[in-house]
């Protein structure tokens, strides 16, 4: 699913939640006030019929009802966030003004708490938004703090405590819902990725087998032709290099389709990196690239030597290719607190756009015009087998830093 489709689906769900919230708000708000001001006085003579004198009275309800068409318009325009914030903030502000008008100069006890406040706090998990939760709770808490200061009534602190307890319960539900949804998204994404890799693996194995056999024959015939026509050896050399490049792609395909069993033994990673730098140095020099290393006295790690060589070949080769006009590659190391060895490969290349960084390592994703994405896919798989992690940080026009984290012995 594309990012645009995910956003549209998210907005659709937000609109559904906002509609439910708005209709429940109006039903509870109007029903409660109708019962409190007109129904209750019919069965209890201690209550006066009608809205209390001195407050905003019916005007509060007229203004809040007037917001309903605005909220519906905002929902139709695909802006559920503005709709829900508008209704609650305006209602809460008007309720504050109305109660201050009613109780300033009045020695009677404060008894204008509204069930709408309780509803708003308990229903905030509906939106899966901590921001909306804090807006709701913060505005209600602020209202009761203002009541307490202006009316000088310590009894109002009890109301604040009750709403704070309800808010704490609501926040626990909200946090649990968000955590659950994030976990499910992660599980679903992992399943999709595994299904994709399985499909790619089957395809890669099939293609690899089909290409490898005729490729071996082609390589043999090319060598025979070079011996037969020694004057054309320059062209045959180019052909052999291209055949070898195809062979490397086939090797990557075969690894993706059927990864080799890792042989983990204690190794000096410093020697592995130096070996890779040595074999890639001619390529670097031909591209005016200098490879600097600061990796002395590294601890031993459990690893498959050949697989890690493949990792560093892929990463350093990518760094070289990212600098067509030359530059410097710095390879350094550091030991982290959690018994982890970090190897950093930093180049001065073209960099990678931020939105593309999460896609690195996915099947067939590449930032190179002539790339296929298999090299980094293999790299990620190898590092994962070594219980390590690989991170990319990049600035367009400044370069990229690749950090490989591996557990130490």
Residues 57 and 131 in one domain: yes
pLDDT digit string (tens) for 289-344? 999 988 878 888 888 888 888 889 889 988 998 888 889 999 998 888 778 889 99
Query: Angle at the Cα of 284 (from 405 to 399), degrees rounded to 5?
Result: 55
Range of the domain at 14: 3-153
Is the per-residue pLDDT at 372 higher than 70? Answer: no
Structural domain contains residue 159: no
Query: Angle at the Cα of 113 (from 110 to 119), degrees rounded to 5?
Result: 170
Residues 229 and 360 in one domain: no
Structural domain contains residue 331: yes
Which of 257, 281, 308 marks a domain boundary? Answer: 257
Residues 271 and 203 in one domain: no
Query: What local confidence, expressed as pLDDT, does residue 250 receive?
Result: 73
Query: What local confidence, expressed as pLDDT, does residue 192 receive?
Result: 76
Query: What local confidence, expressed as pLDDT, does residue 346 receive?
Result: 93
Which of 236, 257, 278 marks a domain boundary? Answer: 257
% of the chain surpassing 70 pLDDT: 86
Q: How far apart are CA 174 and CA 171, in angstroms?
A: 5
Q: The domain that contains 252 carries what CATH number?
A: 1.10.287
Structure tokens at 158: 């009890």
Residues 61 and 122 in one domain: yes
Q: How far apart are CA 229 and CA 155, in angstroms?
A: 104
Query: What local confidence, expressed as pLDDT, does residue 124 receive?
Result: 83
Query: What local confidence, expressed as pLDDT, does residue 82 receive?
Result: 87
Query: Angle at the Cα of 262 (from 361 to 308), degrees rounded to 5?
Result: 55
Closest to 22 in 3D by CA, of 94, 79, 60: 79
Query: What local confidence, expressed as pLDDT, does residue 39 receive?
Result: 86
Query: What local confidence, expressed as pLDDT, does residue 257 receive?
Result: 58
Residues 272 and 346 in one domain: yes
What is the count of structural domains for the chain?
3
Structural domain contains residue 172: no
Residues 133 and 27 in one domain: yes
Residues 237 and 360 in one domain: no
Residues 272 and 347 in one domain: yes
Q: Angle formed by the axes of helices 374-385 and 233-257, to 10°?
A: 50
Closest to 360 in 3D by CA, of 331, 327, 322: 322
Structure tokens at 187: 């599980």
Residues 249 and 349 in one domain: no
Which contiguous run of DSSP H or E holds residue 394?
A: strand 389-395
How would DSSP label each residue in 37-102? IIIHHHH-TTS-SSSPTTS-THHHHHHHHHHHHHHHHHHHTT-HHHHHHHHHHHHHHHHHHHHHHH
Q: The domain that contains 339 carries what CATH number?
A: 3.30.565.10
Is the per-residue pLDDT at 3 higher than 60? Answer: no
The answer to whether 352 and 321 have CB atoms below 8 angstroms apart is no
Query: What local confidence, expressed as pLDDT, does residue 349 receive?
Result: 86
Q: Within a 10 A sphere around the Cβ of 378, how many other Cβ atoms?
A: 21
Residue with tokens 């600097």: 292
Is the per-residue pLDDT at 25 higher than 80? Answer: yes
Q: What is the mean pLDDT of residues 137-144?
A: 88
Mean pLDDT, the chain, integer: 82
Structural domain contains residue 67: yes
Between residues 255 and 215, the one the model is more confident about: 215
Is the per-residue pLDDT at 403 higher than 90? Answer: yes
């Amino acid at each position: 699913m594309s990012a645009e489709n995910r956003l549209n689906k998210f907005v659709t769900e937000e609109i559904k939640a906002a509609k439910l919230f708005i209709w429940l708000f109006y039903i509870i708000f109007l029903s409660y006030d109708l019962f409190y001001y007109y129904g209750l006085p019919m069965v209890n003579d201690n209550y006066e019929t009608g809205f209390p004198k001195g407050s905003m009275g019916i005007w509060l309800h007229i203004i809040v009802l007037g917001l309903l068409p605005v909220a519906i318009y905002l929902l139709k325009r695909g802006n559920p966030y503005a709709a829900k914030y508008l209704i609650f903030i305006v209602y809460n502000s008007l309720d504050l003004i109305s109660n201050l008008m009613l109780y300033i100069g009045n020695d009677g006890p404060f008894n204008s708490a509204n069930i709408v406040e309780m509803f708003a706090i308990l229903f905030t998990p509906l939106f899966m938004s901590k921001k909306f939760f804090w807006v709701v709770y913060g505005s209600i808490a602020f209202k009761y703090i203002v009541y307490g200061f202006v009316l000088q009534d310590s009894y109002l602190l009890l109301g604040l405590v009750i709403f704070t307890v309800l808010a704490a319960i609501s926040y626990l539900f909200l946090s649990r819902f968000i955590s659950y949804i994030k976990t499910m998204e992660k599980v679903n994404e992992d399943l999709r990725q595994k299904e994709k890799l399985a499909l790619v693996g089957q395809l890669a194995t099939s293609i690899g087998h089909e290409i490898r056999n005729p490729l071996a024959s082609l390589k043999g015939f090319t060598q025979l032709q070079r011996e037969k026509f020694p004057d054309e050896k320059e062209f045959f050399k180019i052909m052999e290099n291209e055949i070898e490049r195809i062979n490397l792609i086939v090797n990557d395909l075969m690894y993706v389709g059927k990864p080799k069993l890792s042989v983990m033994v204690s190794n000096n990673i410093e020697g592995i990196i130096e070996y890779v730098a040595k074999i890639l140095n001619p390529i670097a020099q031909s591209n005016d690239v200098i490879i600097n290393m600061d990796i002395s006295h590294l601890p031993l790690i459990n690893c498959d030597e050949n697989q890690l060589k493949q990792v560093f070949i892929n990463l350093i080769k990518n760094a070289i290719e990212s600098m067509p006009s030359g530059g410097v590659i710095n390879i350094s190391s550091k030991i982290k607190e959690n018994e982890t060895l970090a190897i950093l490969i930093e180049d001065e290349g073209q960099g990678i756009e931020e939105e593309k960084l999460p896609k690195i390592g996915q099947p067939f994703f590449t930032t190179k015009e002539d790339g296929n994405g298999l090299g980094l896919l293999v790299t990620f798989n190898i590092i994962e087998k070594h219980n390590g992690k690989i991170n990319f940080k990049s600035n367009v026009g400044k370069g990229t830093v690749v950090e490989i984290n591996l557990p130490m012995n």
